[in-house]
Amino acid sequence: MDKMLTGYDAVAEAVKSCDPDVISAYPITPQTDIVEKLSEMVADGELTSEFIKVDSEFNAASTCIGASAAGARVFSATCSQGLKLMSEVLFTASGMRLPLVMAIANRSLSSPLSIWSDYTDTFAEKDGGMIQFYAEDVQEAMDNILMAYKVAEDREILLPALSCLDGFILTHVQEPVELYDEEDMKQFLPDRVPKYTLDPSNPVTMGAYTRPEYWAECKYMVQKALMKSKDKIGEAVEEFADVFDREYGLENNGLISTYKMEDAEVAIVSLGSVVGTIKNVIDEYRDKGEKVGLVKLRVYRPFPVHEINKALEDVEAVGVMEKHVPSGHQAGVAIDTKSALYSTGKRIPVLDFLVGLAGRDVARDNIRNVIEKTKDVKGKDPKEIGFDGEEHWEPLRTEILPEGI
Amino acid sequence: MMVKDPYKDLKLTVGAVVEPCTSLINKTGGWREFKPVIDHETCIACGRCETFCPDMAVKEVEEDRYEFDLDYCKGCEICAEECPVDAIKMVKEAK
């Protein structure tokens, strides 16, 4: 069924189709409309979830892990400062192996205060044992919710999963989307079967204190589960294609998808809504006969090392475009792409373009600049560029900086 | 109280889910510098000490009579602070 929906209503529809037992969240722009819609559905009797109102994101995340421990399918949504306030609890959820799914309407972290979109919020959670999906458009943001549940609740995985969509750019845009048939949902996402549950008649302790001789092994199991989730995501996209007839990176375990990469000499690596515009600019270059392609990250954690390496096998230069800020080193995707390539022995230039920060528009001209700069280093030894030469703020308005910076 | 050592032959489960009450093996009373001593003449048996004790180390041993489980009392002094009739005094531990 095709329907014209805003991103937030569409995500709420996807969550409704997953039929969570418990929803707990706290409002924060631009996420608020997602849970507002869900609470409306509960109030109207369309959705039977227990909607637990709380006084903060810390409490929302805590409520979710408590419900997940009791065996419930749970949902929350947040972003930015709200995600930071949840962070402590979410690290706990992964260690306790409690699946929960959250929609994140990506928004910058303060300060300076901004309500607009970038990935400074979710990238800061990369070490927390959570799976992170990113969406290019509203339909993918919805479909990622279903796949997030599928993988997070798998008894070999049991981890929190974030389904990220660009705040405002995707949450507040209207796009035609396809909703889900109830029978298809039953096939794709059966009820959760928890491994351990809190049950007063059969008490257990969860989240106990652990001595040094056991802690590392617990974290080892989380890492193994994250790595295994790559294959599970691969299985999920295959099953998703069978049931719903939409494909997401089938050739690449669902972790990345590629665009015009077959004979590409220059590759752009990026993620999120900006990918649509990048494809348009790549089409321009292809029309001129230039061999430029795109690798779109669908999943940032676990990082798709093997899929990226395969996609970049014959490439001569890479331009990473990420809505993230470096903090005393390079930014997330650039670091990860370079470290992935390390194991292949392939030495090609990888430039890091910091774009679209705090919702700043990423126009075609910015993308052309990125491609031109990446073309310029094609075939160069990274030594010639040097570490400092890899970082590019696209654009950087040097004229507004104070003197001496 | 005899407590089975939960760490003996412990194999991990996914998420480190364990049987309940395993922390009883960690006798935190050893951390204590001052121990609570209750004056039963003054005590009005209101139970505030039991309510506020963060370690469940205050026990109502018989009706209206409270004592401390010194295996687990860390000497935090919350009971003495909360007692409305000052029936609990903190006394330096002498070894």
HEC string of chain A equals CEEEEEHHHHHHHHHHHHCCCEEEECCCCCCHHHHHHHHHHHHCCCCCCEEEECCCHHHHHHHHHHHHHCCCCEEEEECHHHHHHHHHHHHHHHHCCCCEEEEEEECCCCCCCCCCCCCHHHHCCCCCCCEEEECCCHHHHHHHHHHHHHHHCCCCCCCEEEEEEECCCCCCCEEEEECCCHHHHHHHCCCCCCCCCCCCCCCCECCCCCCHHHHHHHHHHHHHHHHHHHHHHHHHHHHHHHHHCCCCCHHHCCCEEEECCCCCCEEEEEECCHHHHHHHHHHHHHHCCCCEEEEEECEEECCCHHHHHHHCCCCCEEEEEECCCCCCCCCHHHHHHHHHHHCCCCCCCEEEEECCHHHCCCCHHHHHHHHHHHHHCCCCCHHHHCHHHHEEECCCCHHHCCCCC
- Listed residues A189, A216, A244: the one ending a domain: A244
Query: Closest residue of B to A206, CA-based?
Result: B17
Residues A240, A268 share a domain: no
pLDDT (mean) for A225-251: 98
Which pLDDT value is given to residue B24? 85
Which pLDDT value is given to residue B50? 97
- Listed residues A222, A244, A266: the one ending a domain: A244
Residues A187, A48 share a domain: yes
Chain A within 8 Å of B7 (Cβ-Cβ)?
A: yes
Q: Tell me which chain B residues have a C-beta less than 8 angstroms from the C-beta of A217.
A: 12
Residues A234, A287 share a domain: no
Which pLDDT value is given to residue B95? 67
| Separation in Å, CA A222 to CA A67, A127, A176, A204, B84 | 20, 11, 38, 20, 48
Q: Does residue A405 fall inside a structural domain?
A: no
Max CA distance (Å), chain A: 70
> In chain B, positions 10-49, which contact chain A (CB-CB < 8 Å)?
10, 12-23, 26
CB contact under 8 A, B12 and A218: yes
Which pLDDT value is given to residue B1? 54
pTM of the model: 0.93
CB contact under 8 A, A218 and B7: no
Which pLDDT value is given to residue A212? 93
Which pLDDT value is given to residue A278? 98
Residues A71, A156 share a domain: yes
CB contact under 8 A, A208 and B12: no
**Closest chain B C-alpha to A157 CA, distance in angstroms:** 10
Residues A209, A266 share a domain: no
Residues A304, A220 share a domain: no
Residues A193, A96 share a domain: yes
Looking at every residue in chain A, the average pLDDT score rounds to 97
Model pLDDT for residues A101-129, shown as the tens digit of each residue: 999 999 999 999 999 999 999 999 999 99
Model pLDDT for residues A34-77, shown as the tens digit of each residue: 999 999 999 999 999 999 999 999 999 999 999 999 999 999 99
**Full set of structural domains in chain B with CATH:** 26-92 (3.30.70.20)
Residues A170, A39 share a domain: yes
Model pLDDT for residues B30-55, shown as the tens digit of each residue: 999 999 999 999 999 999 999 999 99
* Cβ-based neighbours of A349, under 8 Å, separated by 6 or more: A317, A318, A374, A377, A378, A380, A382, A385, A390
Residues A299, A206 share a domain: no
Q: Tell me which chain B residues have a C-beta less than 8 angstroms from the C-beta of A218.
A: 12, 16
Contact in structure between A35 and A25 (CB atoms under 8 Å): yes
Name the token pair of A281.
């600019």
3-state secondary structure of B68: strand
CB contact under 8 A, A209 and B15: no
pLDDT for A311 beyond 80: yes
What's the domain count of chain A?
Answer: 2
Give the torsion through C-alpha atoms of A98, A102, A107, A113, to 10 deg: -60
| Domain assignment of residue A282, given as a range | 257-400
CB contact under 8 A, B17 and A210: no
Which pLDDT value is given to residue A243? 98
Q: Tell me which chain B residues have a C-beta less than 8 angstroms from the C-beta of A208.
A: 16, 18, 22-23
Contact in structure between A265 and A374 (CB atoms under 8 Å): no
CB contact under 8 A, B16 and A207: yes
Q: Does residue A251 fall inside a structural domain?
A: no
Q: Tell me which chain A residues have a C-beta less than 8 angstroms from the C-beta of B20.
A: 203-205
- Select from A155, A205, A206, A217 the residue whose CB has the most chain B CBs within 10 Å, as the one to mutate to test that interface: A205
CB contact under 8 A, B15 and A95: yes
Name the token pair of A26.
């706290």
Model pLDDT for residues B5-32, shown as the tens digit of each residue: 888 888 999 999 988 888 888 889 999 9
CB contact under 8 A, A96 and B13: no
- Per-residue pLDDT band for A1 (boundaries 50, 70, 90) equals low
Report how far residue A126's alpha carbon sits from residue A335's, in angstroms, rounded to the nearest whole number: 13
Q: Which of A105-119, A177-191, A206-220 has the lowest mean pLDDT?
A: A206-220
Residues A342, A269 share a domain: yes
- Listed residues A220, A244, A268: the one ending a domain: A244
CB contact under 8 A, A214 and B21: no
Residues A235, A265 share a domain: no
pLDDT (mean) for B76-86: 98
Q: Of A196, A203, A211, which has the smallest distance from its Cβ to B15's Cβ? A: A196
For residue A143, the domain's CATH number is: 3.40.50.970
For residue A290, the domain's CATH number is: 3.40.50.920
CB contact under 8 A, B14 and A221: yes
**Closest chain B C-alpha to A55 CA, distance in angstroms:** 24
Residues A299, A235 share a domain: no
Q: Does residue A20 fall inside a structural domain?
A: yes
Q: Tell me which chain A residues have a C-beta less than 8 angstroms from the C-beta of B13.
A: 196
Report how far residue A352's alpha carbon sits from residue A373's, in angstroms, rounded to the nearest whole number: 11
- Select from B7, B11, B17 the residue whose CB has the most chain A CBs within 10 Å, as the one to mutate to test that interface: B17
pLDDT (mean) for A238-247: 98
Q: How much of chain B, in percent, has pLDDT values that exceed 70?
A: 96
CB contact under 8 A, B13 and A196: yes
